[in-house]
Amino acid sequence: MTFYAVIGGMAALENVFPPVPADTAVAAGAILSVGGRVTAWGVFAVTWLANVGSAAAVYAGARTVGRGFFRGRIGRRLLRREQLARLERLYARHGVWAIFLSRFVPGLRALVAPFAGVANLGWARALLPVMLASALWYGGLTFVAATTTRNLGQITHLIAAVNRGLLALTLLVVVIGIVWFVLRRRKRGGHE
């Protein structure tokens, strides 16, 4: 249960402090799911709910106080009035797709929800793409990490076989190169 809390906490904190390695925690949880300590579905559910919940909270906070902050003395230095207007136009035109796609980019994903709130984008247009993209990202990450761990023996054998094949190919190329070099030198030597 404690591990789920750590994963959920990191997934939630990522929307507030982007350097938090939420993806690493999710992958670690998925790896542990193979050993039976946690379940992959549990890791996914906790991650998804915590991440979407904190994105919604950040969005709501930004929608409530963000606009006022950017009208204040400090806020105007960070984001000028014309930049705020440009941001609003961007979200009005491409908001859903911009939010959806940027949720796949660690670091950037944390900025999307608050700026959607500041731009006064509606709840559905802001949070539905967050929910869908987060489900795809964390579901995919959990699946890949768990599947890779479960099949690590087969993957190791495959990599070893590929390495043996590449070594044989390299040796063949070296032998062909040496034979070519020797034959070329002999041919040149006969013409002198």
Percentage, residues of the chain above pLDDT 70: 98
Please choose, from the candidates 12, 94, 108, the residue with its C-alpha nearest in 3D space to the C-alpha of residue 58: 12
Both 99 and 192 in a single domain?
Answer: no
Q: Looking at the structure, do residues 97 and 163 belong to the same domain, yes or no?
A: no
81 and 121 both lie in a single domain? yes
The residue-averaged pLDDT of 78-93 equals: 76
* Pair (146, 172) in one structural domain: no
Q: Are residues 142 and 160 in the same domain?
A: no
Boundary (domain end) residue, out of 150, 169, 184: 150
My answer on whether 85 and 178 are in the same domain is no
Total number of domains in the chain: 2
Q: How far apart are CA 33 and CA 185, in angstroms?
A: 62
pLDDT band, residue 71 (cuts 50/70/90): confident
Mean pLDDT of the chain: 85
Q: Indicate if 133 and 39 belong to the same structural domain.
A: yes
Whether residue 105 is found in the same domain as residue 180 = no
State pLDDT tens for residues 5-54: 888 898 898 888 877 878 888 888 888 888 888 888 999 999 999 999 99
**H helices within the chain, ranges in order?**
2-13, 22-35, 40-61, 67-71, 73-78, 81-102, 109-118, 123-150, 152-191
Dist. CA 104–CA 113, nearest whole Å: 13
Q: Are residues 18 and 104 in the same domain?
A: yes
pLDDT tens, position by position, 119-159? 888 889 889 999 999 999 999 999 999 888 888 788 788 88
Distance CA 83, CA 76 (A): 10
Domain shared by 42 and 131, yes or no: yes
Same domain? 109 vs 56: yes
pLDDT at res. 191:
61
The answer on 103 and 129 residing in a single domain is yes
Parent domain of 51? 2-150
